[in-house]
Structure 1
Amino acid sequence: MPHLTRRAFAAGLVVLPYARGATAASVPYNLQAERSTVGFVYRLSGQPAKGTMPIKRATVSIDVNALQRSSLDVEVDVRRAKTGLIFATEALKAASVLDAKRHPTIRFTSTAVRLNGNGNLSDGAEIDGMLTIKSTKAPITLRAALFRQAGTEAGDLRQLSFRVNGSVSRAAFGASGYADLVEDAIDLDIIARVIRA
């Protein structure tokens, strides 16, 4: 995935201002799929390893005047998941884990956005939502921050980037195969870039 180091993250993303003068309405944004992905970290025999899944579809609405009214609905493509290790990728897609043949997508739908700091999503927020894996749906809370894309002018909110982090229990979704080799917790690191529709 386009992993961002601390230095690149600070230099490459410009903080999104709280646009108080904007019209109070949610605005749709289109996903820049080629610049977005879901990254994850799993622990194989105690050692961290990384993988990615491409975002298949996303519906993003952002209300810059009341960011808590923003919403997110995302599906990722399990069949195109990669781990960097062929055997690990095949195990990930196996019936005892994500069962990619029967359940080719994972879906997250937000239900609430709770802002931190001064009301800017760039100060960080918690996004509550429902995560669906293998037809099992359960609530989850993710951490998020929203930024203007690098190179855009102050106040130009047409192109945005957001980063989302969190952790998922495999067992909670019936994806606990190979438990003797792979730990239960999967850490998420999602980078998504969107452009105003």
Structure 2
Amino acid sequence: MIRALFICFLTIFSGTSVGAAPVPYALDVKDSEVVFFYTLGGRENRGAFSVRNASTMIDLQDVRRSSLDVTISTNSVRAGDPFVTLALKGPELLATGKHPEARFVSKRVFPTDLGVRIAGDLTLKGITLPVTLNALFQRRANAPTDNSELILQVTGAVPRASFGVTGFPDLVGDMITLRFVVHLVRE
């Protein structure tokens, strides 16, 4: 699987013209979301946010010239249990009434053996901290040579307490695993 993803990554970043510049990509809102995983009572659980908007510039010739700016609506948070969803929106956790958005803005993108790393600032609950995420650009399965539509899969982890999300420490683990799935269409 990793080999197949790496080959897909190499295919995307080869065959582009020399001197290419960053190209703007628009967000496909209906297919994009931020998924997160957290430990509750010792068991892993899943939640998700809707992506509100994204500003994305991608240079397939030199990914270092790419940038990503993603905003989510914290009030869109949903978990499998309605009580957990309500708690997530409350003041002990996300305080969505006071902090209706979270945002990630890239500062630096650089290639790795299996994709790219994106270093940037994550703002959550009014606190902005640097984070580094791993990413993989993929084409849609039905368009293996077409760069007009891309899927950006971003993964990483953040300590929730660092962002002031400190409620229920005896029940909920500190590390939150993130997975952004952003569907992009070349403008």
Q: TM-score, normalised by structure 2?
A: 0.92
Question: Residue type of the partner of 2:159?
Answer: S
Partner of 1:165: 155
Mapped pair 1:65 → 2:61: yes
What SS class does the counterpart of residue 172 from structure 1 fall into? helix
Question: Residue type of the partner of 1:183?
Answer: G
What SS class does the counterpart of residue 78 from structure 2 fall into? coil
1:56 pairs with 49, 52, 56, which one?
Answer: 52
Structure 2 residue ranges without an equivalent (≥5): none
Mapped pair 1:137 → 2:133: no
Aligned-pair CA distance for 1:153: 4.4
**8 Å contact from structure 1 (residues 30, 60) kept in 2:** yes
Give CA deviations for 1:55-110 in whole Å, capped at 9, x if unaligned: 00100000111111100000011101100111111111111111000001110000
Structure 1 residue ranges without an equivalent (≥5): 1-5, 118-122
Partner of 2:179: 189
Give CA deviations for 1:19-65 in whole Å, capped at 9, x if unaligned: 34154211100011101111010110010010100000100000111
Partner of 1:146: 137
Partner of 1:177: 167
Distance (whole Å) between structure 1 residues aligned to residue 144 and residue 19 of structure 2: 19
Counting matched residue pairs gives: 183
Partner of 1:99: 95
Distance (whole Å) between structure 1 residues aligned to residue 132 and residue 162 of structure 2: 14
Root-mean-square deviation over aligned CA pairs = 1.8
Aligned-pair CA distance for 1:18: 2.3
After TM superposition, the structure 1 stretch with the greater mean CA deviation from structure 2, 18-27 or 90-99, is: 18-27
**8 Å contact from structure 2 (residues 49, 77) kept in 1:** yes
Q: Percent identity?
A: 36
**8 Å contact from structure 1 (residues 28, 60) kept in 2:** yes
Q: TM-score, normalised by structure 1?
A: 0.87
